[in-house]
Amino acid sequence: MTTTRPAADTTPSPPIPDSAESPMWTSRLRRAWLAKLPPDKLLPDRQPAYVASWIYVFGVLTLAAFLVIVVSGLALAFAGPAWYHTSSLGHFTNSLHFWSVQLFFVFMVIHLWGKFWMAAWRGRRAMTWITGVVAFLASIGTAFTGYLMQTNFDSQWISFEAKDGLNAVGIGAFFNVTNLGQVLLLHACLLPLVVGAIVVWHVLLVRRHGVVPPIDAVPVTQPADTIGDPEVPR
């Protein structure tokens, strides 16, 4: 038995528009993204000379601590308190989560001090500064709900003190810190997503506008042998 192939379709297909001119929203979004954040800005392989300072390390240290928090938090969420309150590995993971939060805040506060004293909102970086501040505030809320769900005397004390404080400022009706179910869901579901999204936005803005230079940084257009010479204009 023999089979025959169907005849090839020789009808010319309609011309595909160049992606640079395509009106599709995906193409327009891609062009807008690449115009604002080309790959060499998103993943650079070189940084300005002034970045070679320990004070510039604390932003990425904060990110590293945040990554440890997320990974250890995922393990705690999946395994549950019956694991992390009873087994050795669970205790270790619980402690890892707690202490990485301490380091996260230490690194973030030093990052904040460094950026404040170098006025890091200069050069159209206001939104970078603002997203950093919002990330800091959201992190405080996330850490606070984490303290509240320890289910020990410490969390009981914190929740009752905080309840009075929140009632005093008029928001106690919307946020009941003694409601463990509400606190658990806020800490494990909502707030990590909020902090993660703001941190991603913050990092993308840093990549787009570049790392802020020191206030007395010399532009690279000045010859190196004239740096510091008061007779040579910058």
Partner 1 sequence: MDQTYQVAGMNDPATYLSWGWLSISLPNLIVIVLMVVLFVLAIVLPFPKDRDQS
**Residue 154 near partner 1 by CB under 8 A:** yes
C-alpha angle 202/74/87, rounded to 5°? 145
Q: What is the greatest pairwise CA distance in the chain?
A: 95
Query: Least CB distance from residue 207 to partner 1, whole Å?
Result: 21
**Residue 55 near partner 1 by CB under 8 A:** yes
Site string for partner 1, 84-123 (x = CB under 8 A): ------------------x---x--xx--xx---------
Burial classification of residue 2, based on how many CB atoms lie within 10 Å of its CB (0-12 exposed, 13-18 middle, 19 or more buried): exposed
Q: Where are the alpha helices (DSSP H) in the chain?
A: 25-36, 39-42, 58-79, 81-84, 88-117, 126-148, 153-168, 180-185, 191-209
Query: Least CB distance from residue 171 to partner 1, whole Å?
Result: 25
Query: Least CB distance from residue 152 to partner 1, whole Å?
Result: 6
User: Which pair of tokens denotes residue 77?
Assistant: 């969420």
Q: Which is nearer to partner 1, 28 or 45 (CB)?
A: 45
C-alpha angle 48/49/54, rounded to 5°? 105
Q: Which stretch binds partner 1 (CB under 8 A): 53-61, 64-72, 73-81, 126-134?
A: 53-61
**Residue 32 near partner 1 by CB under 8 A:** no
Q: Which of 37, 57, 96, 204 is close enough to bind partner 1 by CB under 8 A? A: 57
Query: Least CB distance from residue 229 to partner 1, whole Å?
Result: 23
Q: Which is nearer to partner 1, 63 or 185 (CB)?
A: 63
Q: Which stretch binds partner 1 (CB under 8 A): 16-24, 121-129, 151-159, 163-171?
A: 151-159
**Residue 52 near partner 1 by CB under 8 A:** yes
Give helix 126-148 / helix 153-168 axis angle, nearest 10°. Answer: 130
DSSP state of 49: G
**Residue 195 and residue 135 in contact, taking contact as beta carbons nearer than 8 Å:** yes
Residues lying near partner 1 in the complex (CB under 8 A) are found at 52-55, 57-58, 102, 106, 109-110, 113-114, 152-154
